[in-house]
């Protein structure tokens, strides 16, 4: 049985996003940038722990300085990405709302045949006319 990477990834992401603290952090682009930078700083401390530094600065001080610069760049990228997603969702919602307004009559009407003519008149003068039945959504505020 092959591993379904997409389903596994979606399952794990849903479980992690279900945690309240993770969901709150990931919603905000600045908090997400801070989380990324903290992970970067921890990995830098681990990778460069045995490096001999020629300058007077210690490794934690260099990592903090690099983290400050990284925070600026990652925050800018996160805000750009967040704004792009928001604009894309607004466009999709606008298209969906317009589709609901202009396609609503066609979706909510079913046509049944009906005879129009004077009562008691023979079938000769009767005309087959489609009669609209159904609900019309006239409330466009939603």
Q: What is the pLDDT of residues 72-122, one digit of tens each?
A: 999 999 999 999 989 888 888 877 777 776 665 555 455 455 554 555 555
Question: Bridge partners of 109?
Answer: 134
Q: Is 37 exposed, middle or buried (0-12, 13-18, 19+ CB in 10 A)?
A: buried
pTM (2 d.p.):
0.57
DSSP letters for 81-104: HHHHHHHHHHHHHHHHHHHHHHHH
Question: Bridge partners of 116?
Answer: 127
């Amino acid at each position: 049985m092959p591993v379904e990477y997409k389903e596994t990834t979606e399952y794990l992401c849903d479980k992690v996003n279900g945690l309240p603290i993770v969901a709150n952090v990931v919603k905000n682009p600045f908090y997400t940038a801070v989380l990324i930078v903290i992970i970067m700083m921890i990995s830098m401390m681990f990778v460069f722990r045995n490096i001999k530094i020629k300058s007077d600065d210690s490794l934690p001080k260099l990592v903090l300085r690099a983290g400050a610069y990284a925070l600026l760049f990652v925050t800018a990228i996160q805000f750009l990405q967040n704004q792009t997603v928001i604009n894309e969702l607004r466009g999709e919602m606008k298209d969906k709302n317009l589709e609901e307004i202009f396609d609503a009559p066609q979706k909510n009407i079913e046509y049944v045949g009906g005879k129009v003519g004077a009562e008691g008149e023979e079938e000769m003068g009767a005309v087959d006319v489609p009669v609209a039945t159904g609900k019309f959504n006239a409330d466009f505020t939603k």
